Amino acid sequence: MLSRTRQIVTMLLISICFLGLQAQETRPNGLLLGTAWYPEQWPEQRWETDLSLMEQAHIHVVRVGEFAWSTMEPAEGQFKFGWLDRAILLAAKHHIAVVLGTPTAAPPAWLTAKYPETLRVDEDGKRAEHGNRQQFSFSDPLYRRFAAQIAERMAEHFGHNRNVLGWQLDNELAAPSFDASSKREFHRWLQQKYGAIGELNRRWTTSYWSQTYDNFDEVPVHSKGENPALLLDWKHFVTDTWISYLQVQIDAIRPKVLPGQFITTNTMHWNEGFDHYLLHKHLDIAAWDDYFPDGHLDPLLNAADHDLVRGYKQRNFWVMETQPAFVNWGAVNSPLPRGVTREMAWQAIGHGADAVLYWQWRSALNGQEQYHGTMLGADGLPVPVYGEIQQVGAEFDRVGGALLESTPKAQVAILQSYDSHWAIDFQRHSQKFDYVTQVTDVYRALKPIAQTVDIVSPDADLSRYKVVFAPALNVMSNSVAKNLIEYCENGGHLVLGPRSGMKDSDDSLQVERQPGPLAAVLGGHVDQFYALEKPVPVDDLTASPGNVHGMTTVWAETLVPVAADTSVILRYGKTVEGWVDGQAAAISRPVGKGLMIYVGATLDSDLMKTFVGQVLDDAGVAPILDGLPQDVELMQRVKPSGDRVWILINHGINSEHIDLKHDLKDLLTGQKGRFLDLLPHGVAVYSLAGAQR
């Protein structure tokens, strides 16, 4: 009886405090700065100090709970959430909201000891053990039941807490499992896809090497060294299995939480473990973990990464983790130079992030990550990078409102295809042919001119783009081919890159020469492909005033124009081997109101710049702000009203003088004028009325 009364009194106190907090809510609208905080690793008396230090750094969101399963459910069926209630309440007192992580990336020892079948099995048949994380099987039904239960209990408990902004499911989905349940599910999945084994045999061409199967259970379960059709289906199965793995948690959480609480997961740099477009259909926002382990920011690569993640849902996203100066898992974990932690935060915002969270607040005194960058030292006091992050926080507070509801809007896009990425990786033909490099090589040429670039799935709606690049679109389904043809007919300029249109959606060779289903419309095709040992000369025939000479570095396809209105725009020079000499390296043809170009060569960076520049020129794509120094990046976010925000960053090591071509006021410094001197790693933020152009 006494404890019941105490419970009610506590509840009342909590609600009164909470109402008070709501009234004095100062969380800014627009941008959020945050950190990963693990209160379960610290004595409760310490929390207030931590949260005060966070508040002083203008931190308004903490991610908590991920990996805390053994604290939330210390024994089977015994749930303890009181500590987390108190942590969330105390955070609210410091105007800090919460993202709750479901702890399923780190099952507790009682679970894996009692139910070892929930442990992941690697491809060589070895079962994982306790002591690390991600040791679970993603398909095991029992593990899913436990995952659903902890998620549901958390949702029941915290789903109406107004200080909870959203949910992060699991953490960095990564390793599939090859245990008995995965094998069973894979066979069931194949049966569902093909219906009859004969259909699988036909589409996989299993007469090759006597692979013909009599029933689905005979199909081996491998992720390498197999029939490419099997390998591609394994990737599709892994994607579907991660989707259903998350769906179990989504189903447990969604009905129990306030409608405003988002559900996401945190993904990794170009991770090709599963199809992120499909997975994100089930999530509310995309979020990713942005790290440069060697401490050397590559601004264009990072820009491409942000645009990739923005493309998962074609909307703004979160940086759920990023490094406070350095990490602990690289070969040499050198720090980002002074100023670059801030530079990265603003670059994320420029590309459409609405929140940036540092991993992590303070290292646990023990555990595998003692050396990782943090905001506090082991003594609980700020380390040097704290000040830099505090500056970011103050800036987010100051100008966040100006970015509210704004997002980058691009006139150009690059298509990124998991099927093509996988198919090329199964059989690279040249180890130098790297799918991500093919995409980012185009990006590196495109971004400085177009300034805003989307990276999207090949089946996305392309109608908003003037130019679309499809580097190495190796696997081309009939529906993607249709999407691309329609795009050109309606006025789009499409540039296909090497190896495009070679495979169908089963990873079988197309029976037409490349680009397969697009060859007729292109009015030409690839005659033969060649992996190159050494670069081969290429001439750009359309460059003005005269031809531009360059090289193709890793790949050369000879192209044959067939239609009368197909023209040759790039041509190979002379080689020792002689196969490509004087033949077309790229062809172009008007299609409907638009244009289709096929480039069969992997252009060196200078030639790529010239070529991309010309394509953009022809399509009428001009920079938002012309004449910027090479190291200066302009990012633009557009509001529904048409008003715009510019973020300029100097990624270089020299100060740069910039002509803004408008009289503008830097929202960070208050400085006004047409000209801006931007220090190395410097950032400026401007607000422009819609009409200003």
Residues interacting with ligand GLA, by CB under 6 A? 171-172, 289, 291, 321, 327, 329, 359, 369, 372
**Which residue, 209 or 640, is less far from ligand GLA as judged by CB?**
209
Quote the CA–CA distance of 597 and 521 in Å, as a whole number: 11
**Which residue, 322 or 687, is less far from ligand GLA as judged by CB?**
322
> Among residues 426, 401, 396, 615, which one has the least CA distance to residue 502?
426
The distance of closest approach from Cβ of residue 370 to ligand GLA in the complex, given in angstroms and rounded to an integer, is 12
**Which residue, 171 or 457, is less far from ligand GLA as judged by CB?**
171
Quote the CA–CA distance of 592 and 549 in Å, as a whole number: 31
Single-letter amino acid code for the residue at 398: R
The distance of closest approach from Cβ of residue 368 to ligand GLA in the complex, given in angstroms and rounded to an integer, is 8
Quote the CA–CA distance of 570 and 520 in Å, as a whole number: 20
Compute φ and ψ for 539, nearest 5 degrees. -110, 135
The distance of closest approach from Cβ of residue 499 to ligand GLA in the complex, given in angstroms and rounded to an integer, is 21
> Among residues 359, 619, 312, which one has the least CA distance to residue 454?
312
Quote the CA–CA distance of 84 and 91 in Å, as a whole number: 10
Q: Is the omega angle on the peptide bond into residue 498 within 30 degrees of 0, that is, cis? A: no
**Which residue, 324 or 524, is less far from ligand GLA as judged by CB?**
324
The distance of closest approach from Cβ of residue 298 to ligand GLA in the complex, given in angstroms and rounded to an integer, is 17
**Which residue, 63 or 351, is less far from ligand GLA as judged by CB?**
63
Pair 500, 468: CB distance under 8 Å = no
Compute φ and ψ for 274, nearest 5 degrees. -155, 170
> Does residue 661 sit in helix, strand or coil?
strand
**Which residue, 68 or 446, is less far from ligand GLA as judged by CB?**
68
Quote the CA–CA distance of 599 and 587 in Å, as a whole number: 7
The distance of closest approach from Cβ of residue 185 to ligand GLA in the complex, given in angstroms and rounded to an integer, is 26
Compute CA distances 163 → 72, 88, 565, whole Å: 19, 7, 63
> In b/e form, how buried is each residue of 616-639, taking b as 16+ CB within 10 angstroms?
beebebeebbeebeeebbbbbbbb
Read off the tokens for 621.
Answer: 């794509």
> In b/e form, how buried is each residue of 465-496, taking b as 16+ CB within 10 angstroms?
bbbbbbbbbbbbbeebbebbbebbeeebbbbb
- Longest alpha-carbon distance in the chain: 93
Quote the CA–CA distance of 660 and 658 in Å, as a whole number: 6
- CB count in 10 Å sphere of residue 124: 6
The distance of closest approach from Cβ of residue 271 to ligand GLA in the complex, given in angstroms and rounded to an integer, is 11
> Among residues 396, 406, 391, 150, which one has the least CA distance to residue 256?
150
**Which residue, 24 or 208, is less far from ligand GLA as judged by CB?**
208
**Which residue, 301 or 364, is less far from ligand GLA as judged by CB?**
364
Quote the CA–CA distance of 57 and 462 in Å, as a whole number: 42
Pair 22, 162: CB distance under 8 Å = yes
The distance of closest approach from Cβ of residue 326 to ligand GLA in the complex, given in angstroms and rounded to an integer, is 9
Quote the CA–CA distance of 93 and 268 in Å, as a whole number: 32
- CB count in 10 Å sphere of residue 533: 11
**Which residue, 103 or 408, is less far from ligand GLA as judged by CB?**
103
E strand intervals along 212-350: 262-264, 266-268, 286-290, 317-322
Quote the CA–CA distance of 487 and 464 in Å, as a whole number: 10
* Residues in a beta bridge with 474: none
The distance of closest approach from Cβ of residue 69 to ligand GLA in the complex, given in angstroms and rounded to an integer, is 14
Chain residue at closest Cβ approach to ligand GLA? 289
The distance of closest approach from Cβ of residue 313 to ligand GLA in the complex, given in angstroms and rounded to an integer, is 20
**Which residue, 73 or 172, is less far from ligand GLA as judged by CB?**
172
By annotation, the residues acting in catalysis are: 172, 321
Quote the CA–CA distance of 505 and 200 in Å, as a whole number: 13
Name, in order, each residue with C-beta under 8 angstroms of 562's C-beta and a sequence gap of 6 or more: 523, 524, 525
